[in-house]
Amino acid sequence: MIGVWIAVGVAGLLVVLLIATYNRLVALRNRVDNSWSQIDVQLRRRYDLIPNLVETVKGYAAHERQTFENVTRARQEGISATTVGEQAQAENHITQALRQLLAVVENYPDLKANENFRELQEELTATEGRIAFARQFYNDQVLTYNNSVQQFPSNVVAGMFNFSTREYFEIEEAATGPVNVQF
């Protein structure tokens, strides 16, 4: 008689554990999704900054047309990108074009001293930092989630409900290569 009660108790405990594990997996997966879209938020901030930056630089270095066009074109690419692949590529182009622009600025001491430009540069540095942190946070969430999906015993529940591992965000080779500066 007592055996039945023990069995019921154990079964109840298992059900509770199952529910708790499932909920945790859901929460972790949602965090991954949320942190992915937060990266987008920071990328949009950069798009908003660029026109202002270009205008300020133009005021001092009007004939550096190629550089301006590169930056503006890359920004347009980013805004109109539809797939993740297109976006990643556009982001790399923007990073390169911005580096070029800032390298060009080195030749114009008046521009460098300009208060407005310095503020914009600070904002740009900060935005680049935010993008990097957003990506880092995304990767951290993916790590925690993947651990839960793969480790025992939560992997049992993960298998039952089709939770699959997520991919890390990795910088492509192009973005880390040297920048060509044309004058």
Partner 1 sequence: MYEELARNKRRSALLIAGAIGFALGIGYLFGVLLGGQGNATVFGLGGLGIAGVIAIIMSMISYFSGDKIVLKLSHARAVTHEQEPRLHNLVEGLVIAAGIPKPKVYVVEDTAPNAFATGRDPEHASMAVTRGLLDKMNRVELEGVIAHELAHIKNRDTLVMVIVATLVGVAVLLADWSLRALFWGAGGGRRGSREGGAGVFFVIFGVIALILTPILAQIIKFSVSRRREFFADVTGVQMTRYPPGLISALQKLKEDQTSVRYATHATSHMWIEEPLEQEHGKAAVRLNRLFSTHPPLDERIRVLREL
Contacts to partner 1 by CB under 8 A: 35, 38, 42, 119, 122-123, 125-126, 129-130, 133-134, 136-137, 140
Q: Which of 98, 103, 85 is nearest to 172 (CA)?
A: 85
Ramachandran region of residue 105, left (φ > 0), alpha (ψ -120 to 50) or beta?
A: alpha
In the complex, the smallest distance separating the C-beta of residue 11 from partner 1, rounded to whole angstroms, is: 31
In the complex, the smallest distance separating the C-beta of residue 174 from partner 1, rounded to whole angstroms, is: 22
In the complex, the smallest distance separating the C-beta of residue 68 from partner 1, rounded to whole angstroms, is: 25
Among residues 88 and 123, whose Cβ is nearest to partner 1?
123
Cβ(116)–Cβ(110) below 8 Å: no
Among residues 133 and 168, whose Cβ is nearest to partner 1?
133
- HEC string for 57-97: HHCCCCCCHHHHHHHHHHHHHHHHCCCHHHHHHHHHHHHHH
In the complex, the smallest distance separating the C-beta of residue 151 from partner 1, rounded to whole angstroms, is: 14
In the complex, the smallest distance separating the C-beta of residue 27 from partner 1, rounded to whole angstroms, is: 13
Q: Dihedral of the CA atoms 133, 137, 142, 148 (nearest 10)?
A: 160
Cβ(57)–Cβ(117) below 8 Å: yes
DSSP 83: S
Cα–Cα distance, 64 to 107 (Å, whole number)? 11
Among residues 32 and 157, whose Cβ is nearest to partner 1?
32
